[in-house]
Amino acid sequence: MPQYQLLEILQTPLQELCLHIKSLQLAAVLSFLAKALQPPDPLSVQNAIELLKTIGPIDDMEELTPLGRHLRILPLDPNIGKMLLIGSIFQCLNPALTIASTPDYRDPFFPPINRKEDADAAKNSFARNSYSDDIALLKAFDSLMDAKRNGRDGSFCWENFLSPVTLQMMENMRNQFLDLLLDIGFVNQKQRPQVIEAGVASKALSNH
């Protein structure tokens, strides 16, 4: 393989990289990566392989599993990809899409310094008695979709200390994930509008 292609591959996150190498049947992961000018740390590679075994896309012999054959098509972190596939199978795709689309580096809730107690109260009202950040996010996102249909998404974000930029980013990411699932046959075209509208499955979860 030309060195420029190897360098391009090495820019991929390590778990995705290991899965990609296994899917191409290039060689054992460690020996393949050792050919790079600046190979990743072997211990880090081994840890990534062990994590892939735990997640399920490769088995103890480091061969692709049926799950791995689906995940290799999705240009996603294997954890996120597995969450979306399982969400599709068990008909709870809406909450899976919302959680998967949440950026690690931007909290959708942004409490102003001088109104932290009010912001915490708003977040807790979404979480209800669950004390779960994920439930709070699911309920907040579903409520935002309702507000958006009524043309009051801006005021809803302002009143509930939510970042409209982050939530719009999440909505765009959800649609991209949905298109990927559509491409590989885990969602059909008839289901797509229902999922975009954040339908019954996510509302049922967030209302409990």
Please give the full DSSP string across 52-84, using - where no structure is assigned: HHHHSSB-TTS-B-HHHHHHTTS-S-HHHHHHH
In this structure, the number of other CB atoms found within 10 A of the CB of residue 39 comes to: 14
Spatial CB neighbours of 164, under 8 Å, sequence gap ≥ 6 = 153, 154, 157
Give bridge partners of residue 162 from the DSSP assignment: 109
Question: Which structure tokens are listed for 63?
Answer: 């061969």
pTM score: 0.78
Q: What does each of the 208 residues of the chain score in pLDDT, given as a tens digit?
A: 454 455 555 566 889 888 988 888 877 888 888 887 788 888 999 999 999 999 999 999 889 999 999 998 888 899 999 999 999 999 889 999 999 999 887 889 988 889 999 999 999 999 988 889 999 999 999 999 889 888 899 999 999 999 999 999 999 999 999 989 988 888 877 666 666 654 433 343 334 3
Task: Quote the CA–CA distance of 21 and 6 in Å, as a whole number.
Answer: 11
